[in-house]
Every structure is written in structure tokens, then in C-alpha cells.
Amino acid sequence: MKTLLSILLLAVAVMVFINVWSYADSSNIEDRNREQYGGDSSVVDITTPPETTEAEITTEKVVTEKEPTAYARAKLFFGGDINLDPEYSASERYINGDENIKNCFSTTILGLVRDADMFMVGNVFAFTDNADPIDKVYTFRTEKKHAQFLDDLGVDVVSLANNHSFDYSVAGYVDTVDALDDLGIVSVGAGFNVADAAKPYYANINGITVAFTAAMRSEKYIDTPEASATSAGVMKMYDIEAYANVIREAKANADFVIAYVHWGTENTITLEDEQIEGAKALIDAGADAVIGAHSHTVQPIEIYKGKPIFYSLGDMFSTEDNKESGLVRLIIDSNGNLEASFIPCESIGGYVDIASEDTSRALFGRLNESDTISLSNNGSIAEK
């Protein structure tokens, strides 16, 4: 009997030792990613990305329907601007690489964004085969068929509220919307009239209604048409009250409201007063998070009235220059709780991956200079 008991105790001890050793093993990718990104299963496996959970998308008001679970939550991801013009961007990596998205993004990045309930980026070019641009210095486009890039990346929603959506006139805008619609990708922030451009997009995720809205104020010299009662264009916020009214309407119909804004000065981390004042006005109007883009840089992060403001995420995919950028992950639950995280990214020669340790340390150090937020090593954001 004593011998049997001794054998059993020895077996238990061996099993405990194996489990402890496995957890401590630095080659254990799953555990290292849990530690790095806060224990979320969506960022665990960097060798095999999880299967994409694609939301059913139509053009109806509330379009994404998922069955409520015992723990109802919505996981949202946001990236900065994407530019696929082959003359100005790294899109040749995709176009000449058998149109394989893995030539442009690491498996880690793809695993993160494809596992989101909703993933939103800025679309700063036209999908059109028309080569007749408007009269301006920089105009961006790529062929309509390359809209597949966004679908391969797992994008659900794009903002067209920027200074390049009408680079190829209204005809180019129509081509862009058609290309996106064919793939079930929703666009906000531009339209055939102001009501269309202002219209929020509502997604119902596990019983949580999220409203996606977009607007811009990025032009020093106005080239892009502003949507009016009778003409196509983008939703602008030079008059903040017009966009604030959009936010108020969205808040009346949704549990959670996103304001995705295209603003600021290019190639600087210094904020304009209008960004600071505008972000606060949008939150006062009912926005639960403000996500910014346009500057080509990662700009400061703040918290105002308990709501996160990401002034600019930089370019998610653009030139072949080595650049830093970021992804935002927001997790909300049915009780209205919000968890916000910033995931540092880095583009090297046009290939986007999680930022290196040195780049992350420098970026986090700069972002932690904020008076209102602190970033943990895994990117979780807390209010100071």
C-alpha cells in the first residue's frame, strides 16, 4: 500500500514539474503572448492565426448580429490610414506578390485584427480604374480589384472622411464604394449628400450596439468637396457642431459610439488646438472613444471624462519607409465597461509587424508623458 501511495505521489510531482517547466519555457509562444498582450486569446498564437470571425455585413442600419452569450462583449480593433496607390506606397508588395496579404503583414498582426468583432481603418485613396484625377498635388488610387487587400486583412469598416476620397472626382468615389460594397465592407464619413455622409453605421455585437461615425478637418487648402444637401462629398468638422450632432444622434441609438477623425498636421507629433478642443467636444456630445489619423505619426493619447482619445495612430500601411504606428483594441461589455489597449507596430520596408522592443520602449516612453494616461508594458491604458 505504501509503495502504491509513493508511486502516486511521485507521478503528481512529475506532472507539476512538467507544467511549471512548460510555462517557464521561453519558447512557449502562447504564454509569452498572453503575458505581452494582457491574456486575450486573440493575440496568443503567432504561428497560426485564429480563424476569422467575419460579421455579416449589409447596408442596413443594424447589420452585425451575433447571439448573446453568458458574458456579452464586443472586441473592436482600429488601425490608421491605408494607402494602396502603387506609386506612393508599399502596395507593390501585395500586387507583385501573388496578392498575398502575408507579404505585407505579419501573422501576429493578421491574427489580432482578423479575430476582432469589428475592424476599422482609414481608406485614403480611391479604388478606381479611372486615371483622370482632379487638379491637386497628390492624388491616390489603385485598381478596383485590389479592394481584396482590405478583405484579406479582415477590415469591416473604413472611413472615407479624408482628403483623398474624391481625388478622382465623384466618379472615383462611386467606384470606391462599389468596390467596397462588393466585398461587404462598410464605409462611413462620405456620401452622395450630407445625410448619407453623416449617417452612422450601427453594428449589433452580442446584443451591444456600436455606432461608427467619421469626419475630417485635415486640409489647409480645401480640395475635397464637403457633402451638402444636394451634392456628394465628405463629412467635415471645421464646424464642430455639425459633427457633434451626428454623435448625439448615434448615442441616442447605440450603446457605444466611435468618432473616427482625420485631422492634425502631417509629420509631427504636436497636436493642433483644434484637435484637443474637438476631441473633448465630441466626447461631450456622446462619443465613447475618439480615434484619429492623418498625421503619418503616432500622436499623444489622452483620457477625458473616462473616455480614450487616440489623436493619431499613424499609417497602418503606406510607404516603404520605416515607420512606427499603432493598433487600438477596445473591449466593451454589456455593462458598459471599456478596456482600451494600444499595440505598437512598425513598418520596415513596407512590412508591418509588432514593433521591436527598442521601438516599443521609445514609443511608450513618449506616450507616457501624458498627464492623463499611463501605458503598461502590455499596452493597457489606465487613467492617471
Number of alpha carbons in the 13 Å side-chain half-sphere of residue 245: 10
Class of the CATH-defined domain 44-383: alpha beta
pLDDT in tens, 159-170: 999 999 999 999
**What are the φ and ψ backbone dihedral angles of 73, each rounded to 5 degrees?**
-150, 165
- pLDDT over 60 at 48, yes or no: no
Tell me, yes or no, if the pTM score tops 0.85: no
3-state helix, strand, coil in the chain (%, to 5): 30, 30, 40
Of the candidate ranges 11-15, 137-141, 274-278, 348-352, the one whose mean pLDDT is the lowest: 11-15
**CB under 8 Å to 5, separation ≥6 — which residues?**
none
pLDDT in tens, 96-126: 878 999 999 999 999 999 999 999 999 999 9
- CB distance 381 to 341 below 8 Å: yes
Q: What is the mean pLDDT of residues 342-346?
A: 98
pLDDT in tens, 244-263: 999 999 999 999 999 999 99
Question: What percent of the chain lies above the pLDDT cut of 90?
Answer: 74
Q: Would you state the cell numbers that stand for residue 307, as one nine-digit string?
A: 473616455
- pLDDT over 60 at 79, yes or no: yes
Roughly how many angstroms between the first and final C-alpha of the chain, as a whole number? 60
DSSP output for 259-300: EEEEES-TT-SPPPHHHHHHHHHHHHHT-SEEEEE-SSSB--
Q: How far is the C-alpha of 15 from the C-alpha of 346, rounded, in Å? A: 40
Q: Which long-range contacts (CB under 8 A, 24 or more apart) does 16-24 make?
A: none
pLDDT in tens, 90-103: 988 888 878 999 99
Q: What is the mean pLDDT of the chain?
A: 85
- CB distance 220 to 191 below 8 Å: no
Confidence of residue 274 (pLDDT cuts 50, 70, 90): very high
- Residue among 293, 324, 299, 296 nearest 88 (CA): 296
- Residue among 125, 293, 272, 280 nearest 216 (CA): 293
Q: What is the mean pLDDT of residues 197-203?
A: 98
CA distances from 80 to 263, 316, 325 (A): 12, 5, 8
- pLDDT over 70 at 31, yes or no: no
Question: What percent of the chain lies above the pLDDT cut of 70?
Answer: 82
Confidence of residue 222 (pLDDT cuts 50, 70, 90): confident
- pLDDT over 70 at 214, yes or no: yes
For residue 382, what are the β-bridge partners? 374
Residue 213: its pLDDT value, please? 98
**What are the φ and ψ backbone dihedral angles of 349, each rounded to 5 degrees?**
65, 25
**What are the φ and ψ backbone dihedral angles of 93, each rounded to 5 degrees?**
-60, -35
